[in-house]
Amino acid sequence: MTAEHSPADDDGMDWIRRRGMGALAEKMGIEFTEFTIDRAVATMPVEGNTQPVGLLHGGAYVVLGESLGSMAANLHAGPERLAVGVDINATHTRSATSGIVTGVCTPVHLGRSMTVHEIAVTDDQGRRCSTIRITNMIKDR
C-alpha cells in the first residue's frame, strides 16, 4: 500500500468504475468483481474469445491477466504515478471451451518503482487453465 492511497480513501471497485477498464477489456466481456491492493478478481466469457477450434484463445487469457495486473499496479501506484507493463508471460495448462473463466490476481512484489503480480485463471469447475505473471514499472505521470 502506498502513502498516496489507502482503502479508507477510496473503494477499489469505485476506482475501477471511475477509471474504466479500457476498450479491449470491455470488448472481451471482462468484468471486475473484486478489487483491492491485495486481491483483484475478474471474469471473462469463453464465448466470443475463442480460436477457430473452439478453445479459449491463449491471447485472451493474457488480456485478462494484463487487465487485472496492470489495474492492480495502478491502484498501488497512487494518483500521481502511472504503472506500465514491461513484461508478461503465461503458461496455459488447460483449455476452457465454454462458460466463463475467472482470474485472481495477487501481488508478488509491490515496490516503489516496480510491481509483480501473478494471475491464476480457472474455469467454471475451478481447474487452473493459465498462470500469468506481469511486471509493471511505476513512474511519475
Q: What is the set of active-site residues? A: 66
Q: Hey, CA dihedral for 57, 61, 66, 71, is it positive or negative?
A: positive
Number of H helices, E strands in the chain: 3, 6
DSSP code of 112? Answer: S
Cα separation of 96 and 43, whole Å? 13
Q: Which residues pair with 114 in a beta bridge?
A: 137
For residue 17, what is its C-alpha cell? 468504475
